[in-house]
Amino acid sequence: MGLTIPAYAKLNLTLEVLGKRFDGYHELRSLMCSLALHDTLHLEPAPEIEVRCSLPELAGSGNLAHRAAVLLRAATGHSGGAVITIKKEIPVAAGLGGGSSDAAATLNALNRLWGTGLTGDALRTLAAHLGSDVPFCLAGGVALASGRGEKLHLLPPLPPMIVLLVRPPIQVSTASIYGALTPVGYGDGEVSERVAALMRAVPPAEWPLVNALQPVTIRAYPLVGEVLALLRDLGASPALMCGSGPTCFGLFKTTERAESGARAARERGWEAWVTSPLARS
Ligand code: C5P
């Protein structure tokens, strides 16, 4: 009597930082969407909570999905556990919310499997405790996020587009990128709101996308700038960094162009995936 569910990657189409907050986090405005690229989770009731993973280094109690299960059990007083098996497809520590999405899917699935009956609001509160991106991953679809990323205004689906993701072989710490951001990089959220308003009227190539963390990450890791340059050379319009990096994305009109871009990226020794925004949440 188990459950098998997808956990979708997320993409920050825009990421503006409005300023630093008293709690140490940054106030954001971000237009986010779920991608079809996904991990797959299988959950079975069991006496204890256990996380297994196709990438063995992600198994065990350090996985955010494990923390999600512990949090749900504490919040509801449920006495059982679960074996959570994660098949990873979303690149790890890439700025695509893979860990956050696995945690969100775990909350959702265990609430059903355990029959704990938490409301959507209660699940969203738990999700925000687990990380800034977890509430979006729980909701899925397209949203304008504010606060530290947890306040969501849900939006209609995006027009069709092909997304090429390219990841150079480097590890980036989200906390250190936010830590290196100075007020010069702050915005007022106007770009995200403008793109949210025009995204159904104007083609993606004309969207004024922005990521405030991009210059900071490129300063620390110039290779990210090279990935963006390649995406632009390949005809991506626009091309931008995902979250705090190091993965970058480019939008294409056709799968063929994106696939040939993926081959060019792989020839340089970088990983590449072709995907698209999820048509439904
Ligand atoms: O919330 P999450 O654990 O994903 O955030 C990781 C780190 O990113 C935080 O510890 C913080 O340093 C930074 N962050 C931030 N402002 C946000 C989201 C994340 O400063 N809105």
Three-state secondary-structure class, residue 172? coil
What pLDDT, on the 0 to 100 scale, is given for residue 16? 98
Cα-based angle 52, 83, 174 (whole degrees, multiple of 5): 50
Tell me how far the alpha carbon of residue 87 lies from the centroid of ligand 1, in angstroms: 25
Pocket test for ligand 1, best of 21, 100, 101, 174 (most atoms within 8 A of CB): 174
Tell me how far the alpha carbon of residue 275 lies from the centroid of ligand 1, in angstroms: 26
**Is 151 in the active site?**
no
Residue 66 has φ and ψ, to the nearest 5°, of -65, -45
Residue 280 has pLDDT above 70, yes or no: no
Cβ contact 72:126 at 8 Å:
yes
What pLDDT, on the 0 to 100 scale, is given for residue 205? 92
Q: Please give the model's pTM, rounded to 2 decimal places.
A: 0.96
Q: Which residue lies with its CA nearest to atom 8 of ligand 1?
A: 175
Q: What is the spatial distance between Cα 260 and Cα 164, in angstroms, rounded to a whole number?
A: 10
Tell me how far the alpha carbon of residue 146 lies from the centroid of ligand 1, in angstroms: 13
**Is 23 in the active site?**
no
The contacts of residue 256 (CB under 8 Å, 6+ apart) are none
Pocket test for ligand 1, best of 21, 22, 26 (most atoms within 8 A of CB): 26
Q: Which residue lies with its CA nearest to atom 15 of ligand 1?
A: 25
Task: Report the candidate in 215, 138, 221 with the shortest Cα–Cα distance to residue 173.
Answer: 221
Tell me how far the alpha carbon of residue 140 lies from the centroid of ligand 1, in angstroms: 19
Q: How many CB atoms lie within 10 A of CB 218?
A: 18
Residue 132 has pLDDT above 60, yes or no: yes
What are the tens digits of pLDDT across the range 134-184?
999 999 999 999 999 999 999 999 999 999 999 999 999 999 999 999 999
β-pairing, 81-87 vs 49-53, is: parallel
> Once rounded to an integer, what is the mean pLDDT over residues 221-244?
97
Query: In Å, how far are 47, 136, 142, 172, 173 from 178, measured between CA atoms?
Result: 40, 19, 24, 11, 9
The contacts of residue 89 (CB under 8 Å, 6+ apart) are 37, 38, 39, 40
Q: Across all residues in the chain, what is the average pLDDT? A: 96
Q: How many residues does the chain have?
A: 281
Is the N-terminal amide bond of 238 cis, ω within 30° of 0? yes
- What percent of the chain shows pLDDT beyond 70? 99
Residue 192 has pLDDT above 90, yes or no: yes
What are the tens digits of pLDDT across the range 43-69?
999 999 999 999 999 999 999 999 999
Is the N-terminal amide bond of 56 cis, ω within 30° of 0? no
Give the up-direction half-sphere exposure of residue 74: CA atoms within 13 A in the CB hemisphere.
8
Q: Which residue lies with its CA nearest to atom 2 of ligand 1?
A: 131
Give residue 281's pLDDT band: very low, low, confident or very high (50, 70, 90): low
What pLDDT, on the 0 to 100 scale, is given for residue 200? 87
Both tokens of 4, joined, read 């098998």
Give residue 269's pLDDT band: very low, low, confident or very high (50, 70, 90): very high
